Amino acid sequence: MGSSSEKEHNDGHVVLFPFMSKGHTIPLLPLAHLFLARRLCVTVFTTPANRSFIDQYLADTSATVISLPFPQNIPEIPAGIESTDKLPSIDLFYPFALATIHMQFDFERALTTLPRVTFMVSDGFFWWTLDSAAKFGFPRFVFYGFGNYALSVSTFVSQNRLLHGAESDDELITVTRFPWIKITKKYFDDAFRGADHNRQASQASEFHVMSVVAAARSYGMIVNSFYELEPVFTDYWNTECGPKAWCVGPLFQLAQDEPHDDLGDKPTWVDWLDKKLEEGSKVLYVAFGSQAELSAEQIQEIALGLENSMVNFLWVIRSKQYSSETATLDIRGFEERVKRRGMVVKEWVDQKWILMHESVQGFVSHCGWNSVMESICAGVPILAWPMMADQPINAKFVVEEVKVGLRVETCDGSPKGFVKSEGLEKMVKELMEGEKGEEARREAKKLAEVARKAVSEGGSSWSTLQLLIDETTCNKSTRF
């Protein structure tokens, strides 16, 4: 996404402030590269424990990385935890997120030492950075880790109190602004629909109100998507809601165009995938992100379903979960039985690299937005298995709106229900070998080409990014 007009903007200075979670940080780092390619200076803020990951990604660039101390002695948060990926339970998310306001003083002190900032892109969870931007007189763009479909549907449902009219959690509700979309209460977390009344719910409400208000007052929203993927919902948001959504993605495409030999000492899973490619074997990739909390019973059902499906698979699972939640599962026996066609990985992997590998032809995913975008960019169809947050709505988008995936079968038919081994086995086979899976694969490959064009010179995302830079640098003498 380099620009032929880069020299016009060699005096812009952008501040990036990703939230302390890999899922929120990973898409913002390619954005840093894109700004640098347009001859803007880039400063990235983070905390000491998260810095090495960012330093590694921005190595050999002119970007500046500044570490801010993470608040200490936060009730409920263990000492030394500076990322949601490391939280012992996702239930601690809201205390963690609310505690970040104590970083504001150090953030603003650091800003006083920097060259004048042209604009800032900060995570939507950092609501307090809007006040900092106003204090220093530069615009704030908010970054949320989801697309315009989930944003538009959730906002319309909330503003029109559609969930309040449902008599049961299973009653279908028509999203009247988009009447082809029907949802139930189960598509939303309890905190969103006001079903909880405990301390955690109170924290969630406080956090969401502050975040939404700050986002509404921001200059715009940076969206990791491309216009052609969600045109109806992007237009709706920009004409009826706001602030303006700037679709500059996919923010993974740049990295995907790089050769696949840049991993240094190759992990075992790389060699394993290469071997499967040499054999001419198709591989199913299975991963549920860094936040998913699976029960021991569910993990056992996954293992049994994968084993019985007879497909080749690469299953990535959080190491602490694999060791603590699978005491009753014969781990060694399972891995021994599937070793010729299956591999279990208990370490961090480069997901976009895996999805781009030629052997990978399917993805069992929780449908976090990053995973959806990475899979679309790779042209890999999804078996949607959402678990929390925006994932059920993303799964609906994947299966019903753009038709690049199938839905896993839950026991009760709900979007986040328990999945038995036989249900997983059935849908894995359909994704990898069935006609519906092949249809989803064809649609995914079509969208991958559209995504590639969007970030190429003159494409929709390329042009949107240039317009954003032009608009903010031309107005840099104006205080926001």
CATH code: domain of residue 310: 3.40.50.2000
**Shared domain check, 420 and 364:** yes
Answer positive or negative: Cα dihedral of 55, 290, 429, 302: positive
Q: Whole-prediction pTM value? A: 0.90
Least confident interval from 51-65, 185-199, 341-355, 392-406: 185-199
Q: Confidence band (pLDDT; 50, 70, 90) for 326?
A: low
Tens of pLDDT, residues 224-248: 999 999 999 999 999 999 999 999 9
Q: Whole-angstrom Cα distance, residue 364 to residue 386?
A: 10
- Is residue 6 situated within a structural domain? no
**Shared domain check, 285 and 429:** yes
What is the 8-class DSSP label of residue 21?
A: S
**Shared domain check, 471 and 428:** no
**Shared domain check, 239 and 205:** yes
Collapsed DSSP state (helix, strand, coil) of residue 214: helix
**Shared domain check, 460 and 448:** no
- Is residue 89 situated within a structural domain? yes
- Is residue 7 situated within a structural domain? no
If you average pLDDT over every residue of the chain, what do you get? Answer: 89
Residues counted in the chain: 480
Q: Confidence band (pLDDT; 50, 70, 90) for 259?
A: very low
For 346, phi and psi rounded to 5 degrees? -115, 35
User: Does residue 2 have a pLDDT over 50?
Assistant: no
- Is residue 77 situated within a structural domain? yes
- Is residue 352 situated within a structural domain? yes
- Is residue 84 situated within a structural domain? yes
**Shared domain check, 379 and 329:** yes
**Shared domain check, 348 and 212:** no
Return the pLDDT at 18.
Answer: 97
Q: Confidence band (pLDDT; 50, 70, 90) for 413?
A: confident
Q: Supply the range of the domain harboring residue 374.
A: 268-452
- Is residue 307 situated within a structural domain? yes
User: Does residue 198 have a pLDDT over 80?
Assistant: no
Q: Are 119 and 38 in contact (CB under 8 A)?
A: no
Q: Whole-angstrom Cα distance, residue 92 to residue 88?
A: 8
Q: Whole-angstrom Cα distance, residue 319 to residue 301?
A: 18
Q: What angle do CA 73, 79, 80 make, to 5 degrees?
A: 125
**Shared domain check, 87 and 119:** yes
Lateral strand order in the sheet of 342-345 = 342-345, 312-316, 283-287, 360-365, 382-384, 405-407
**Shared domain check, 462 and 413:** no
Q: Which residue has the higher pLDDT, 189 or 108?
A: 108
Q: How many structural domains comprise the chain?
A: 2
Tens of pLDDT, residues 276-325: 999 999 999 999 987 777 888 999 999 999 999 999 999 998 755 555 45
- Is residue 1 situated within a structural domain? no
In this structure, what token pair is assigned to residue 69?
């101390």
Strand partners, 285: 314, 363
Q: Confidence band (pLDDT; 50, 70, 90) for 3?
A: very low
**Shared domain check, 465 and 447:** no
**Shared domain check, 93 and 114:** yes
- Compute CA distances 1 → 136, 279, 395, 453, whole Å: 30, 36, 29, 10
**Shared domain check, 401 and 282:** yes
